[in-house]
Amino acid sequence: MAKMKAVEAAVLVLAREGISVAFGVPGAAINPLYAALRKVGSIRHILARHVEGASHMADGYTRARPGNIGVCIGTSGPAGTDMITGLYTAAADSVPILCITGQAPRAKLHKEDFQAVDIEATAKTVAKWAVCVREPALVPTVFQQAFHVMRSGRPGPVLIDLPIDVQMAEIEFDIDLYEPLPVYQPTASRKQAERALAMLNASERPLIVAGGGVINADASALLVAFAELTGIPVIPTLMGWGSIPDDHDLMAGMVGLQTAHRYGNATFLESDFVLGIGNRWANRHTGSIEVYTKGRKFVHVDIEPTQIGRVFGPDLGIVSDAKAALALFIDVAREMKAAGTLRTRDAWAASCLHRKETMLRRSDFDNVPLKPQRVYAEMNGNLDHDTCYVSTIGLSQIGAAQFLHVYKPRHWINCGQAGPLGWTLPAALGVRADDPHKKIVALSGDYDFQFLIEELAVGAQHKLPYLHIVVNNAYLGLIRQAQRGFQMDFEVSLAFENINAKPDGDSVPGYGVDHVAVAEGLGCKAIRVKRPSEFKAAFAQAQKLMDEFQVPVVMECILERVTNIAMGSEINNVQEFEEILCLDPELAKKNEAEKTKKLEPLGTH
């Protein structure tokens, strides 16, 4: 055993648990931890400009690769409260991140000391576990327990609060004897798998709904193998997008009120059986439960026992890690196929594929200012299948989900449930910190981009290049569209005449913030696109700038002020505001009717 400061033991544990990158902001109450990081030397630190930004960097880092855990570090008081949004976002999407805060000395707790806040109590509502360590000898085992909690069962974030005198105290610790605690994951039983497959086999038009739990479990390859073995089409949720490639014949589209495909909703409404794996029946996926469940049976597989029956009671619920369940399902399906009892689904799969090929939305608009649909079409045409997209909330994200294509797991990185504005930029930096070679494209509306725009300086300082596409309509677009239900357009415009706009320059009159100037002022490069003819050269220039300068490159696309994106109140009542590509004559009569449906008020952000 060796004598060392408790905080040095903490850093050694972090390294032993596989941590090689941390994001944070130093300060008085956490400086002992920073001294230990400097002394141990094996963990890279990326200095954020805002602690909330650091927490989203940690979140993006975790989502980038199986097994990653992002670490966010901050001083006491406001740094801890700044992390709350990051903790909530991570918890909502089952993402393990570790937040570490400095704290006032133990003798000053609950005495209103400078920047002392009960962050343990504050964080408990949004973290999987939150703890203030009051005994120095507990520090290494608390960190050990933190990793066990983050990884076991449904993953989630943890906050550890360290009083400064606890950090500085000497303890006995030997890292050579340290071992991570075993991770617990529930597993489906053989009988449960057999029952699920029997129910699936008895149906006529079955679907698999693949949620984010499939990607969290690194089970995408098993999902595709199971779908191919059984011939059953797959509906990925927004969090499960990429678990099956978009161009796979059994990828049947996404379902929902907003981030959905026309063909996905149509196929779901034709189904009679749904096997949900690693999903939580989110309300923007389901709409009303009455419409979603009518006429079909459900099996629900989830790692978290309290998710089974939380939204509606399935016909069969199975508590299991998605990877373990899919492995069992494949074993049972193979035995059924060998015995000649596994039904084929060729006609059903063919009908789903036909809808996918014909029920499309138009994107080839030549308008100036740009329609957002054209931006996504150009992204599809100029970016390859290896592109990793990062996005958060708003019409930009909804339009992206309707028009973009994702071909690999963890190539659509999106905060699905919480949807905090500002998440996209720091999350993209976290993804880049994980992999210096990944092709990363972030997508933001102008308001999301402005929320934590200062984090661009982090990308410039630490050489974290990626492409950030900003679709600028100078509006809170999703809120504006939702306000249609209240017959108003109130306090959602971001437009103003910028007094610094140069009449003979490239700025856009009336669109307010000059994102190109701000990005360049923060040490990055930026391009503005106003016309469809400019896209090809802009993408080529962006790549050249990233390669040459190794900084983020912003591509601002000037949109028309108002574009309503397809959405609705039910999965069978989605309003199409723009022209629909009709590649099947039998669908032609339905298109005009869909344009005239009334849009009911929706919840927004």
pLDDT tens, position by position, 73-127: 999 889 999 999 999 999 999 999 999 999 988 887 777 777 678 999 999 999 9
* Among 286, 300, 102, 52, residue whose Cα is nearest residue 200: 300
Question: Is 570 contained in some domain?
Answer: no
Q: Got the DSSP string for 169-235?
A: SEEEE-GGG--PPPPP-----HHHHHHHHHHHHH-SSEEEEE-HHHHHTT-HHHHHHHHHHHT--EE
Per the model's pLDDT, the better-predicted residue between 231 and 587 turns out to be: 231
Domains: count for the chain:
3
Q: Is the pLDDT of residue 165 over 90?
A: yes
CA distance 27 to 497: 39
pLDDT band at 486 (very low <50, low <70, confident <90, very high): confident
Same domain for 428 and 497, yes or no, is yes
Is 602's pLDDT higher than 50? no
Regarding whether 465 and 329 lie in a shared domain, the answer is no
Average pLDDT over residues 493-504: 83
pLDDT of residue 585: 55
Please report whether residue 150 resides in a domain: yes
Q: Are strands 97-103 and 70-74 parallel, antiparallel or unpaired?
A: parallel
Contact predicate 191/298, CB 8 Å: no
In a domain, 594, yes or no: no
Question: Is the same domain home to 151 and 195?
Answer: no
Mean pLDDT, residues 405-409: 97
| Torsion angles phi and psi, residue 319, rounded to 5 | -90, 110
pLDDT surpasses 70 at 232:
yes
pLDDT at 161 exceeding the cut of 60: yes
> What does the pLDDT read at residue 21?
97
Shared domain for 506 and 531, answered yes or no, is yes
pLDDT at residue number 488: 87
Position 412 scores a pLDDT of 97
Record the pTM: 0.93
Give the pLDDT band of residue 593 (cuts 50, 70, 90).
low
Higher pLDDT pick, 321 / 488: 321
Please give the average per-residue pLDDT across 327-356, as a whole number: 96
In this predicted structure, the answer to whether residue 430 has a pLDDT above a threshold of 80 is yes
Which domain-ending residue is among 307, 341, 360? 360
End position of a domain, from candidates 542, 558, 574: 558
What mean pLDDT is reported for the chain?
A: 92
Q: What is the mean pLDDT of residues 513-536?
A: 96
Same domain, 387 and 527: yes
Mean pLDDT of 261-269: 96
The residues with which 25 forms a beta bridge, in sequence order, are: none
Q: Evaluate whether 312 touches 289 at the Cβ level (below 8 Å).
A: yes
Three-class DSSP category at 266: helix
Q: Which residues contact 517 (CB under 8 A, 6 or more apart)?
A: 500, 507, 526
- Structure token digits, residue 245: 């490639």
CATH code (residue 537): 3.40.50.970
What is the average per-residue pLDDT within 223-237? 98
- Which of 343, 360, 377 is the endpoint of a domain? 360
98 and 214 housed in the same domain: no
Run of H or E including 148: helix 139-151
* pLDDT confidence of residue 595: 46
The pLDDT score that the predictor gives to residue 581 is 61
Phi, psi (degrees; rounded to nearest 5) at 466: -160, 165
- In the predicted structure, residue 596 carries a pLDDT above the cut 50: no
**Same domain for 197 and 98?**
no
Write the pLDDT tens digit of every residue in 18-53.
999 999 999 999 999 999 999 998 999 999 999 999
Shared-domain flag, residues 385 and 398 = yes
How far, CA to CA in Å, does 19 sit from each of 7, 22, 44, 425?
A: 15, 8, 9, 22
**Is 599's pLDDT higher than 90?**
no
Determine the Cα–Cα distance for residues 298 and 449; give it in Å rounded to an integer.
Answer: 39
Residue 219 within any structural domain of the chain:
yes
- Residue 385 pLDDT > 60, yes or no? yes
Which whole number is the average pLDDT over 258-280? Answer: 96
One domain for residues 259 and 346: yes
Q: Assess if residue 498 is contained within a domain.
A: yes
- Do residues 158 and 132 touch, judged by C-beta distance below 8 A? no
- pLDDT for 563: 86
Give the rounded percent of residues in the chain with a pLDDT score beyond 70: 95
Per-residue pLDDT at 508: 85
CA pair distance 101, 146, nearest whole angstrom: 14
Confirm if 553 and 582 have CB atoms less than 8 A apart.
no
Q: Which residue has the higher pLDDT, 138 or 594?
A: 138
Residues marked as catalytic: 25, 51, 421, 476, 479
- Residue 603 covered by a domain: no
Residue 305: band (very low, low, confident or very high) from pLDDT cuts 50, 70, 90:
very high
- pLDDT of 600 over the 90 cut: no
Same domain, 143 and 7: yes
CATH of the domain at 271: 3.40.50.1220
| Residue 343 and residue 402 in one domain | no
Give the pLDDT band (50/70/90) at residue 477.
confident
Q: How confident is the model at residue 304 (pLDDT cuts 50, 70, 90)?
A: very high
Task: Give residue 417's pLDDT.
Answer: 84
Q: Is the peptide bond before 369 cis (omega within 30 degrees of 0)?
A: yes
Indicate whether 76 and 155 sit together in one domain.
yes
Task: Indicate if the pLDDT at residue 6 is higher than 60.
Answer: yes
Containing domain of residue 8, as a range? 2-177
